[in-house]
Amino acid sequence: MTIVVTGGAGFIGGNFVYYILKNHPDDKVICYDKLTYAGNLETLADAQDNPNFKFVRGDISNRAEVYKLFEEEKPEVIVNFAAESHVDRSIEDPELFLRTNIIGTSILLDACKKFGIKRFHQVSTDEVYGDLPLDRPDLFFTETTNLHTSSPYSASKASADLLVQAYQRTYQIPATISRCSNNYGPYHFPEKLIPLMIINALNGKKLPVYGTGENVRDWLYVEDHCAAIDLIIRKGRVGEVYNIGGHNERTNLQVVKTILKILGKGEDLIEFVTDRKGHDQRYAIDPTKISTELGWNPTTKFDDGIQKTVAWYLENRGWWEKIISGEYKEYYSKMYDNR
């Protein structure tokens, strides 16, 4: 079948492109990406020679471009990764997140209604649920947990989820939604916690950690996430939400110390900085539904996945060294200097 992967030049989208090309060699994969700061064609370099892969540059919030894509490519499945996704950036510039994450999603849904598709899948986040208290390790997010957003980013993603559900009910769009925990792995943009800490440690720079570093995240290796989405678009029930979690909870400080230990660096590189506004305390997903219905379970333990991730960044310096310049350096300075 023909699958359009929006945001396929980004971190998770790029990994998903490779996953489909490897595991479903008869499928045609079209990456549709605006190539904003986090979209990188070099991420897709190894896919370019595959006859079943095609890259189309475009913006999901541009209706004419999206309709042209549907007319020319006649996709059967849309997997929507395209999103502005960094919480700190959303605090600095909320409007950008509303335009891409909400308006863009609505335009994709309108195209699905106009041209027809077999499945529209919305890639969402556990951040739409808000957070959990640190002193209640027995609590987890389920698919019925109320939406309770904390940032412009998570609010925009929750809004997109509600649009998808509304289009599914009103227009019978065959849609599904997945909400994942924090991903990590190859091709992760350097502003995110794990790659930022790896790269700073390699360069002997300070590792900025918000607050006291006690905030907890459930870490999901990106290939496990790709496998879950693949199952959902082929076997998931239309209209359903599926939570995808890694069962790998760690405090941010534990993650940073693990990276330093792998790299043989001292903990004196850690530098605590002013906490993020509205910083969520703990994320933890219960993936029982997708496990029971579709047979998916995470296969990568955090201790193994972080070793593989660090090794990838050591072996692919050229990829991330080209990124650390220009806009990223200006943004980094703005967010972390003098905190």
Active site positions, annotated = 126-127, 153
Q: Is 184:246 a contact under the CB 8 Å cutoff?
A: no
Q: CB–CB of 46/17 below 8 Å? A: no
321 φ, ψ (degrees, to nearest 5): -65, -30
∠ CA 125-184-97 to the nearest 5 degrees?
Answer: 40
Q: Which is it for the CA torsion 236, 237, 238, 241, positive or negative?
A: negative
Distance CA 47, CA 55 (A): 10
Q: Which residues of 123-145 are buried (b: 16+ CB within 10 A; e: fewer)?
A: bbbbbbbbbbeeeeeeebbebeb
Query: Widest CA span of the chain, in angstroms?
Result: 57
Name beta bridge partners: 208: 271
Q: How many other C-beta atoms can be found within 10 angstroms of the C-beta atom of residue 91?
A: 16
List the beta bridge partners of residue 218.
Answer: 249
Cα(240)–Cα(245) distance, integer angstroms = 16
